[in-house]
Structure 1
Amino acid sequence: MIRYGIVGCGHIAKKHVDAIAAVKGAELTAVCDKDPDRLEPFLQEGVEGYTDLADMLQSDRLDVVNICTPSGLHPALTIQAAEAGKHVVVEKPMALTLEDADRMIEACEKNGVLLTVVHPNRFRPAMKELRRKMEEGAFGKLSHANATVRWNRNQEYYDQAPWRGTRALDGGVLMNQAIHNLDLLLWMMGEVEEVSSYHATRLRNIESEDTSVSVLRFKNGALGVIEAAVTIYPRNLEESLSVFGESGTAVIGGRTANWIKTWNFEGVSEEETEKTVQRIEEDPFGVPGHQCIIQDMTEAVKEGRQPVVSGEDGRRALALVIACQTAAETGKAVKMSDLERKSKKAGDPQ
């Protein structure tokens, strides 16, 4: 059995509990939260509760630590777990700065432990089908792609927890809500070369942005548009990823990006297209994404391989968010190569 411990018993922790319970060969043995009252719903036979991570890490019944705390706390807790010799599953975003992400990756490599970042949307049936088409080259030469998140997070949502909407612990709509969609965009389109962006805090009383629009140029020459907002009235409207090429057009959308809305490829008959769309509609959600992440980590630990979603993958999505935010704040286009140089300089020991 691969034994898991969860740090942070807030909203997202239940998804981790359910995922661990559903995976053969995985077992929840510990939970940790500074507030002892928050431990209670997660305690069950064989599961120990801790209010201090250092104490939990001393347990000999622990292989993997799942970090489910506010985003700004991820780096320190990841490094602490890695230095104790524990593998790490960390919620998105893995960090709020590239320097912290690099420290996390370095700590895991140095201590010989695995690191995976929770980007579960890659496991959605429609997204796996889209990725297969990309790998087949079915789009031909790519022209552009759109990543859209039009959601509602009202003021009550932000008022429920003091960390939400802050720059230090939340990071804004791109960092906290849209980063999954950006991970998918990068997974499909490859690396970004340059970013221009605008963002604003239009409707919510928060420190970070609630609305953001960006334009990208990918290294392959294709263009991209990112639209992300938590201001949509009165509820979530859509999440979508659209990819356009010389021989293919695909749009995955819906309130969450789980359904094929458009699926046209050169040489593919209407009958075959309809079969693909129908197959996805019969099971648009598939195996829950968090369960896929835990399944993959469990197998990776047993097999001694890297997880499917690596720390480097999490870092790439983070870098794109930071590039968009930097471009918006400076009013200038940001080259990813310049962002990397600045990050490396900031991370170098003085």
Structure 2
Amino acid sequence: MPTIRFAVLGTGMVARVHADAIRSLPEAELTYVYSRTEEAGQRFAEAYGCRRSTDLEAVLGSAEVDAVAICTPSGTHADYAIQAARRRKHVLVEKPLDITLENADAAIQACAGNGVKLGVIFQLRFMSEALRAKKLLDDGMIGKLIEADAYMKFYRPEAYYRNSTWKGTHRLDGGGSLMNQGIHGIDLLLWLAGPVQSVSARVRTLKHEIEAEDTAAAVVQFRNGAIGVIQGTTSVYPDHPQLLAFHGTNGTLELAGTEVPYIRNLNVQDRPELNILSSQPPDDHLGEAHRLQFRDFIQAIRENRSPLIDGKEGRRALELVTAIYESSKYNRTVRLDEP
């Protein structure tokens, strides 16, 4: 099968994670990096042994590019995806798909209409312990779900926002602690517990001097009858590892870990031999999850199927985050669309 040749759009920290993932796969090749500035593009190209360009049309028009990995500010994701789709390039977008549902839907439609694959990076789903948790929950190991909670209590210093031209802004970040940091945990929550029916929330800016929220709390009603709590912050010190807690009629499962999720606690009422209590995450390489998602995306292109996390799947977490913002803004419970 032919090698899938990628262009990375953007040169920030996450672009380097994408580049490392591409270069780790024998079925992939990094051929181009696009940057709006010569200097950043030059540094990136030298580090990764690829061509560079400040001309997006030249990159998208190149016969040496089959797919793009979009690593630009969140509010630009859909625009780049649409431009790439129109040039018949497959699209893999770093989370979130965009910052509005309207833009996300436009990207989904553009990729479908031009016959190219669209994937959204939610790499934690590919980690072994997350997959194990998914199977346990799907198999009903803890019984009927009663409560499913996500706690993303992170800390970011003032310099994190001060040194960025877009983080924490409404125009390019689309939000704060939920849209940027917490959306990974929200995606896992939806994947593991199922779709949400309604949400009632409060978001506030309590510590950082930013436009968007740094503190959020929501109560959610799942379509399966369970209820849950979502908490997301970048305002608490010290930084706490992400924790997802699932409670059923027959036990509890806790999935801990921000970068490398692991089952911290499994307590099944009638199956004590299955119980787990661990404080030690697996010794997984931090870039492994991105590598696994890139591999699935490449296989989807070769097999002419949807990626495991396609545009529709990637949209789900965005829909919930935007519903949380709407609930807080208008002080009301917001119902989500039927899945």
**TM-score scaled to structure 1, two decimals?**
0.91
Could you tell me how far apart the structure 1 residues matched to 2:73 and 2:281 are?
34
Instruction: Specify the alignment match of 1:12 in structure 2.
Output: 14
Trace 1:41-56 onto structure 2 (pairs within 5 A): 41-44=43-46, 47-56=50-59
- The partner residue of 1:142 within 122, 128, 145 is 145
CA RMSD of aligned residues (A): 1.9
Rounded to whole Å, the distance in 1 between the matches of 2:285 and 2:149 is 21
Q: Distance in 2 between matches of 1:95 and 1:137?
A: 34
**1:39 aligned to 19, 38, 41, which one?**
41
Match of 1:115 among 93, 115, 118: 118
**Amino acid corresponding to residue 146 of structure 1 in structure 2:** D
Provide the C-alpha distance between the structure 2 equivalents of 1:165 and 1:281, rounded to a whole number of angstroms: 30
SS of equivalent to 1:112: coil
1:70 counterpart = 2:73: yes
Which secondary structure does the structure 2 equivalent of 1:306 belong to? coil
In the TM superposition, what is the alpha-carbon distance from 1:191 to its structure 2 partner? 1.0
Matched, 1:205 2:209: yes
Is contact 2:260–2:284 with CA below 8 Å preserved after alignment?
no
* 1:312 matched residue in structure 2: 312
**Hey, what's the Cα distance between the residues in 2 that align with 1:111 and 1:243?**
40
Deviation per CA, 1:221-263, whole angstroms, max 9, x where unpaired? 1001000000112x42221111110112011124556232211
Q: For residues 146-168 of structure 1, what are the alpha-carbon distances to aligned partners after superposition, in whole Å with 9 as ceiling and x for unaligned?
A: 10101111211001111111011
Aligned equivalents of 1:147 and 1:167: distance in 2?
A: 24
1:173 to 173, 177, 180: 177
Q: CA offset at residue 196 of structure 1? A: 0.1
Q: Is the CA contact 2:201–2:325 (under 8 Å) kept in the aligned structure 1?
A: yes
- 2 CA distance for matches of 1:83 and 1:134? 40
* 2:231 match: 227
1:283 aligns with 2:283: yes
Matched, 1:263 2:266: yes
Residue 25, structure 1, aligned to residue 22, structure 2: no
Listed as ranges, the gaps of 5+ residues in structure 1 are 341-350
The residue that corresponds to 2:251 in the other structure is 248
Deviation at 1:318, TM superposition (A): 0.3
Amino acid at match of 2:138: E
**Per the alignment, do residues 287 and 316 of structure 1 end up closer, same or farther by CA in structure 2, a change over 3 Å counting?**
same
- Rounded Cα–Cα distance in structure 2 between residues aligned with 1:236 and 1:128: 25
- The letter of the residue matching 2:312 is E
Q: Distance in 2 between matches of 1:282 and 1:336?
A: 36
When residues 188 and 325 of structure 1 are mapped into structure 2, their CA distance, relative to the original with a 3 A threshold, is same
| Closer, same or farther: CA 322–314 of 1 in aligned 2, 3 Å | same
Q: Deviations over 1:32-78 (max 9, x none)?
A: 00011111232158621010211101110011100000000111100
Tell me, yes or no, if structure 1 residue 186 matches structure 2 residue 190.
yes
- Where 2:13 maps in the other structure, the secondary structure is coil
Shift of 1:284: 5.1
Does the 8 Å contact 1:126/1:284 carry over to 2? no
Equivalents in 1 of 2:178, 2:103: separation in Å? 18
Change (3 A) 1:225 1:257: farther
For residue 92 of structure 1, what is the aligned residue in structure 2? 95
Question: Does the aligned pair in 2 maintain the 1:125–1:286 contact within 8 Å?
Answer: no
SS in 2 for 1:337: coil
Q: CA deviation at 1:267?
A: 4.0
Question: What SS does structure 1 have at the residue aligned with 2:18?
Answer: helix
Mapped to 2, the partners of 1:223 and 1:252 lie a distance apart of: 17
The reply to whether residue 297 of structure 1 matches residue 301 of structure 2 is: no
Query: Is the 2:265–2:275 Cα contact (8 Å) retained in structure 1?
Result: no
Aligned to 2:85: 82
TM-score scaled by length of structure 2:
0.94
State the SS of the aligned residue for 1:178. helix
Distance 2:286 2:56 in 1: 34
Post-superposition offset of 1:128 = 1.0
- Percentage identity across paired residues of the two chains: 38
Q: How many pairs align? A: 335
1:43 and 1:255, CA in 2 relative to 1: closer, same or farther beyond 3 A? closer
Structure 2: unaligned runs, 5 residues or longer: none
Are residues 123 and 113 of structure 1, via their aligned partners in 2, closer, same or farther at CA, if it must alter by over 3 Å?
A: same
